[in-house]
Amino acid sequence: MIRPLILLFWLLPLIAAAVEVREFDDTAKQERYERLIGELRCLVCQNQSLADSDADLAKDLRDEVYDIIQSGRSEEEAIRFLTDRYGDFVLYRPPLKSVTLLLWGGPLLILLSGIVFIWNQVKRRSSVARIDLTEEEQQRLERLKRNLEG
């Protein structure tokens, strides 16, 4: 008795995850639709995509995206439909514009400054090590090296 119940319990997330069923006349359209709604952001629950969101508006916007894709228009058109009305905010992948330059370039900038920083550190340390040795110490070091190799 308990076993089927447990099985049902495991199936629960599948049921909950399924948004409304959509009929497409070809599977390529379905794939495009599903990719799109996974990439577009819901404005009500802002941490969820259109696909994930249970909000009423998300459902309406899925309807709009569905209509556009099912009628054979392009993905760009669906994206334009949403950005015309809600701005770039609906895109999880923001476009490269003058205002998003820092956003896109930032990681590269941080990486570069990190490399410069480490480079400087390494250079300083190695030069410090060389200066610190006196003539006598230098000779001792050479001797030790020879002993080790010998």
How far is residue 130's CA from residue 138's CA, in Å, rounded to a whole number? Answer: 9
For residues 8-36, one letter each, b for 16 or more C-beta atoms within 10 angstroms of the residue's C-beta and e for the rest, the string is eeeeeeeeeeebeebeeeeeebbebbeeb
Q: Determine, following the binding rule CB under 8 A, whether residue 85 of this chain makes contact with other proteins.
A: yes
Classify the phi-psi angles of 45: left when phi > 0, otherwise alpha if psi is within -120 to 50, otherwise beta. Answer: beta
Nearest distance from residue 38's CB to other proteins, in Å?
19
Of 117 and 119, CB closest to other proteins? 117
Q: Determine, following the binding rule CB under 8 A, whether residue 87 of this chain makes contact with other proteins.
A: yes
Q: Determine, following the binding rule CB under 8 A, whether residue 44 of this chain makes contact with other proteins.
A: yes
Nearest distance from residue 24's CB to other proteins, in Å?
22
Residues that bind other proteins (CB under 8 A): 43-44, 46, 56-57, 60-61, 64, 83-87, 89, 117
